[in-house]
Structure 1
Amino acid sequence: MLAFAAALLWQLGVAGIGFGGLARLAPGVLPAGFFAGLVSGATGAGSGLVLVPVFDFLRDMGQIRITFQQGVATAAFAQAFAMACAAFGWVGRLYGPNAPAAAMRIPGNDLISIVFATLAAALPTVLITQSNVQLTDRTLQTAFVIFALALGVTLLIFAWAFRRVEATRQRPERFDLYMFLLIGVAGGYVSAFFGFGIGEFLVVYLIFRKFPVYAAVAASVIVSAATVAAGTAVNWGFGRIVWDLALAAIPGGIAGGVLAHWAATAMGPLWVKTVAAAWIVVSSLAMIIRALA
């Protein structure tokens, strides 16, 4: 986070962004950043599922000029801050002085194993993919909407189908470690294009394997934060980040990320996942309708 903050201050001087432009964008983008940070930090789902549809809407309204690829890259950059804050919050919640019962979490060493096994495959995948594979704006937008809609429906079904499944597993087995590597490759590849994917894949797998829900969310948030941060470095180098949008979204994203674990525990895992899935479905359908109009 300190490295990102230092680089951000440097970029501000280079880009010469004024407060007038930020003030114009803040009423629409700042609340979206907060909601994105809250949803992503509470569920492990990527902030891009909230911010990209908002950017797309603002572009259609003529309020911003941005390509779809720039929107994804900017959302991923804001997401890196939000999910880093959420990751620290989850670690403190699960392993701090007021930690919940052992049945609601997994041993710290096993959480580290899950995170490192997934990132060992995810980080090189996202870096190689973003550096070498390019999609046209139209192709990327179509693929984004289709994948997001399918993901939203899947998460909604999954949340209610597994609402009464009790967590019975505390430690990953060797089979799980192989699966984490596979999730890292698949999630890293998808996240390279859309800015989301790896967190959703990991949290669904962990809950399916009957790990505690909050531990699953914590692991997915940590992995997502590291993955999008690595991808942001590539996007920054290619000049894909729209700085005024990013700066308008990041403060809200940080606030949402800080509050995410409290929101998740207050609402309960079922309703957190339901709200997130419903937003994904509705926003994806809205993007489809606007594209066809």
Structure 2
Amino acid sequence: MKIAGAVGAGLLVLGYAAIWGFARLDPALLARLWFLPGVGVLGATIANTSGTGGGVVFVPVFNALRDSGVMALDRTQVVAASFLIQCFGMSMGALRWSGGLHAQEPTTREIGLSDFWGVVAVVLAGALPVMLVTQRVAEFDPHDVLLGFKAFSLALGAGVVATTWTVNRTRPALTRVARGDFVMLAAIGLVGGFITALFSVGVGELVALYLFIRHYPVVLCAGAAVVISSVSCLAGAMFHILSGTVVWEVVALAAPGALVGGYFARPLALWLGAKRLKTIDGLWIMGSSLYLIALNV
């Protein structure tokens, strides 16, 4: 796994170097967007600590850029930028979560490797084809989909907080993924793939929240969700690259911060512990959902 981690890190470095080598970057715009590395750190830390989307961090930033006249991004460009930034941040987080699990002795793992990768495989088997098809044929109103998705996330976030301090407060975390949960996760993959195609986030958020409510260990809830989000973004980014909707100046500046946030997120999550992480995660999802709903009604 160490070799795989080194190869993955090397590919991230090469991918970032390719942006500077092949993209036509505007030096003046880069100078005006000097603060984006910090935004990348914040968004990636949130996303990789909890397993849920940090994309909501970028929404007020992009709104402020438009209102101040620095740069106006349409909805497609916002989604494209989020996809590309997450390719770096979530992939770094995926390497850290999976590498940390493999490095543990089998007797000390809170969840088995077969269950961890089984969850990842079951979700992606449905999410990837749905996402790729939706990107190319979808003619839905993203406004209505966003409101429905965030209303559902709001309920799930409340459920995470409630169950953490009631039914799950004292009982031990589950150590084997139940067959029924695999079935539910397969269904979540289908729904999450559709949502991710439209907003760049969704499938990881739904997986993490479901597993948190079911009371699985943090390494499965957050770690598997991060890996799923990483693969989804890597697969979905090509559509936006080929469509020419990526504002590369945004990615060039935010990606290094996202790499830093993705690297340090795992130890932060483990330091917080299950109860605090689940509580913070649930409150974050509730707060971000309310913010986006208020922004779009």
Same fold (TM > 0.5): yes
Gaps of 5+ in 2: 1-7
Distance in 1 separating the partners of 2:178 and 2:291: 42
Gaps of 5+ in 1: none
2:52 corresponds to 1:50: no
Q: Can you list the C-alpha shifts for 1:56-92, whole angstroms capped at 9, x where unaligned? A: 2322222212102211220121012111111111123
2:83 corresponds to 1:81: no
Q: Which amino acid aligns with 1:257?
A: G
Alignment match, 2:142? 140
Deviation at 1:97? 4.7
Which of 249, 253, 258 in structure 1 is aligned with 2:254?
Answer: 249
Relative to structure 1, the CA distance from residue 290 to residue 180 in structure 2 (aligned partners, 3 Å threshold; closer, same or farther) is closer
Alignment match, 2:200? 195
Report sequence identity in percent.
29
- TM-score where L is the length of structure 1: 0.85
- TM-score where L is the length of structure 2: 0.84
Contact 1:202 1:216 in 2 (8 A): yes
Match runs of 1:90-109 below 5 Å: 90-97=97-104, 101-102=108-109, 105-109=110-114
Alignment match, 1:228? 233
Distance in 2 separating the partners of 1:147 and 1:96: 36
Distance in 2 separating the partners of 1:74 and 1:50: 13
Contact 1:114 1:180 in 2 (8 A): yes
The count of aligned residue pairs is 286
Distance in 1 separating the partners of 2:289 and 2:260: 25
Which of 150, 153, 158 in structure 2 is aligned with 1:151?
Answer: 153
Alignment match, 2:38? 31
Distance in 2 separating the partners of 1:234 and 1:265: 35
Alignment match, 1:172? 177
Q: Which of 9-18 and 84-93 deviates more?
A: 9-18
Q: Can you list the C-alpha shifts for 1:229-288, whole angstroms capped at 9, x where unaligned? A: 111111111122111111111111110000001111222344444445545555565566
Contact 1:36 1:51 in 2 (8 A): yes
Which of 68, 74, 90 in structure 2 is aligned with 1:67?
Answer: 74
